[in-house]
Amino acid sequence: MKRVSLFFGLALDAAEPWARQTASVVGLALALLTAWVMPSTEFVIPEAAWAAVAAVCLITLAAFVVPWAKLPHGWRLLVPLATMLAFGVFRMGTGGPQSLFTSLILLPLIWIATEPGRRNAWLGAITSSVSILMPYLLGVLPWADEQVVRAAFTPLIFLVVATVVNELARRARAQVEVAKALADERAKRLEESRANEAALAASREQHAAAEAFFRSLWEAKLHAVMAVTDNDGTLIEWGPGGDALLGRPRDEVVGTHRFTDLVAPDSLEAIGANGPSGFGRFVEAASSTGSAGLSAEMLRADGTLLTVRLTCSPRHDASGEVVGCIFIAHDITELKEASRLKDEFVGGVSHELRTPLSSILGYLELAQDPESGPLTDEQRKYLGVAERNAHRLLTLVGDLLFVAQVDAGKMPLKRARLDLGDLLDTSIERLLPTAQRASVSLVLERSETPLTIDADPVRLGQAIDNLISNGVKFTPAGGTVRVSARRTDGHVVIAVADTGMGIPADEMKRLFTRFFRATTATRQAVPGVGLGLNITRAIVTAHGGEMSADSVEDEGTTFEIALPVIGSSPGDGPGWGERGTASE
């Protein structure tokens, strides 16, 4: 941005020397025109006058051709200084103190005075003094001439003029800097405003697109009930799935119903959510089930029930404060029916398989009876293989029937007070031959103080057998399976730890899933169908206990069963001792 000139059209910033020299050239041209028009004006020393004119022309030419931009800025002052001296010679040639053209000296003086710095004002004043005193300095006029006083006084006036111009130029330059800074700031703010407007417009477009997208998803969710509530449970938004699955349109329920008003009373009662604080308890139950969801029944408009899997998530405002809940309920009627049919099928098939398997085992036993006739060694071997596989198949059928009973909630338990140590002894004795054949050490650590529990000895024995059997099966020869029992906070904890192949960390969450087998087991072709741990946990859960597992791949696995203990005082301390090992 070019700055505004203040005096004689001269720019205050770094204008080109030829542009600033224009004022001096124009002034000299007017002087020559005046001398030509006014015959009374005479060139007292024509040679000096025309020499000065020639000098100004050469100086002006230099102002055009010299590459001043490549030189330090101070070098530009040579142009006005030389011009001022040339005007002094021109004044001397046109009458000296009597010349009409003394004022020409002001033109380059003003150029010099407009440059930044007080020294330039003094430099211009000193040069103007030299120019005015030129006749005396060159001996054209004697110093005794009375006009010398005038010649000495005029530079003082020029110094005042130069100082005033220099100060005005400084102030004008400062004002221009402020104006430029304000203009730059305004341009910056304007650009920021335009950028903000563009960003806001883009944000509005994105918001509108996102809103349309989520609205489309919301309206397309016809296979699930989606609801939004405030902290009191009052519905503030209701998805179209509520109308499709429950026959309840949005206008009918929003603002007039709480979400729990649409849940069957039996489902609320099952989780204790039918009291004054029922909604909070319902939210807690639905949230604590995680991704699996809460199984519940919702009321259709016609009074029938819809079985759903329901999840709940908190709804936050812009500050992060919880202001309500978001419920999603998926219809699982068909899934529940399919599961029921599957369980019925497995139970039915398993039940039907037991009869022919029992018959097969009976006939195999008869075939191996000496009274049925002599058998060769090879025939006995074949019959032994068939009998072992039949027993294995019968065990599998029994497991499938047990799983079906668990799923149907019909696990029969015949509880009795029993000493856990005796139960562990029985399991160890039962599996000791298996451990010996596998060259695995089986170690029992039991409390010297009896640990009495209320449990079904058959089912709990089955659970303990499953864990010990798995430990032996998944431990290589030379390894150890260690069984122990201890009391902890009103519970007795049974631990079975092996030094086997372990379970990968990313598979631990699926460990108790039906038919799940770890990759470490499948890689080494360890036989099994993946029902043992599922059955064991079901038995433990039925006894009111908890089951956990910890494993490190290639180092071993530890399973723990925690059961309520009775008949012992808190002061009884465990005293451990080892008994019976099976080694290679």
Q: What is the pLDDT of residues 231-274, one digit of tens each?
A: 888 898 888 888 888 888 888 888 888 888 888 888 888 787 77
Residue 265's H or E segment, with its range, is helix 265-270
Pairwise CA distance, residues 41 & 98, whole Å: 10
Pairwise CA distance, residues 329 & 577, whole Å: 54
Pairwise CA distance, residues 242 & 444, whole Å: 58
Pairwise CA distance, residues 298 & 260, whole Å: 9
Question: What is the mean predicted confidence (pLDDT) over 215-243?
Answer: 79
Nearest 5°: the CA angle 238, 244, 248 is 55
Enumerate domains of the chain plus CATH numbers. 17-185 (no CATH), 221-331 (3.30.450.20), 349-407 (no CATH), 416-579 (3.30.565.10)
**How far is CA 522 from each of CA 190, 297, 516, 527, rounded to the nearest angstrom?**
70, 40, 10, 8
Which tokens go with 18? 């030829």
Residues in the chain: 584
Among 518, 543, 546, 542, residue whose Cα is nearest residue 530: 518
Question: What is the mean predicted confidence (pLDDT) over 390-416?
Answer: 69
**How far is CA 115 from each of CA 25, 127, 156, 168, 244, rounded to the nearest angstrom?**
20, 15, 19, 11, 86
Q: What is the CB-side half-sphere exposure of residue 426 using CA atoms within 13 A?
A: 14
Provide the pLDDT for residue 488.
81
Provide the pLDDT for residue 261.
85
Among 13, 401, 363, 299, residue whose Cα is nearest residue 173: 13
Provide the pLDDT for residue 524.
59
Provide the pLDDT for residue 538.
82
Question: What is the mean predicted confidence (pLDDT) over 189-193?
Answer: 87
Q: Say whether pTM exceeds 0.75.
A: no
Question: What is the mean predicted confidence (pLDDT) over 540-552?
Answer: 86
Quick one: angle between helices 377-407 and 532-542, nearest 10?
40
**How far is CA 533 from each of CA 29, 250, 287, 309, 548, rounded to the nearest angstrom?**
115, 47, 27, 26, 11
Q: What is the pLDDT of residues 125-140, one digit of tens each?
A: 788 778 877 877 787 7
